[in-house]
Amino acid sequence: MSMAIVIEASLGSACLPGQALRSLAGRTLLEHCVTRLRASGLPIIVAAASDASDDPLEQAAGALGVSLYRGEMDNVLARVLGAAGAFGVTEIIRASVSQPAVDIDGVRRIAELRRRVHADHAIECGLPQGSAVEAVTVDALRRSREMVADPYDLAHVTSFIRRHARFTSMRAVAPGHLRRPGLRLAVLTMADVEFMHGVLSSTPTPAPSAPLEEIIAVAEAAVVRLERARLSATRKGA
């Protein structure tokens, strides 16, 4: 395969233990992410850690019919490169299991942009937090690995490529109707789990097939309700 989606997943998160298999709106985070990204038609590889804590991800990935690669826990860059090498991938759409509201159409947009401008890396800016994916060449990842020393860059995979002059990183502006950079749809804490459970349980189109525009509308309404409740509680306590 030349292009594949690589979903970085783990059960060993310090902020949210068991993250990938946390349940919200009747499905695990991994299932939400895989189901939405599968609409792109691209092969999907789950990149988990070799640590024993990630053993349950083997069964979960198998049940969802996606490939699994296991590599270093903290060196996610090496893990992603290992997945690419194991499955013969030359271009990667990078996603995370923390994205149960990943933009279904974003894969096509960002892959087309990167190829059109012949960039090493491309990403859309302005989407809600936790809904964008990245496109990056495996060649760029390999070259960056030879230069990376900071643990931050090993954990964040493309951070070195995005800031270093030796690489071409393109930033596109997200479609206007989806542009909500201040809206958080990522799931990294228990508070996020509770919020996104409510959101994805309330979309008119059943999750995980709901379009991002629909999820945004439900999430924004939920944020307004929470803020009103907070203000009401503050006034009562005054």
- How distant, in Å, are the alpha carbons of 24, 116, 207 from that of 28? 6, 35, 11
Return the bridge partners of 27, or none: 24
Give pLDDT, residue 1.
63
Q: Are 68 and 62 in contact (CB under 8 A)?
A: yes
- Specify the CATH number for 3-237; select among 3.90.550.10, 1.10.490.20, 3.40.50.720, 3.30.465.10: 3.90.550.10
Mean pLDDT per block of 10 residues along the chain (238 residues) reads 93 89 96 97 97 94 97 95 97 98 97 96 98 98 96 97 97 97 97 97 96 98 92 76
Q: Is 156 exposed, middle or buried (0-12, 13-18, 19+ CB in 10 A)?
A: middle
Question: How many CB atoms are closer than 10 A to CB 179?
Answer: 15
φ/ψ of residue 232, rounded to 5: -65, -40
Q: Is 118 exposed, middle or buried (0-12, 13-18, 19+ CB in 10 A)?
A: exposed
Residues with Cβ < 8 Å from 44, sequence gap 6 or more?
Answer: 4, 5, 6, 7, 34, 37, 38, 66, 67
The domain spans of the chain are 3-237
* 91 φ/ψ sector (left φ>0, alpha ψ -120 to 50, else beta): beta
What 8-state DSSP symbol labels residue 215? H
pTM: 0.94
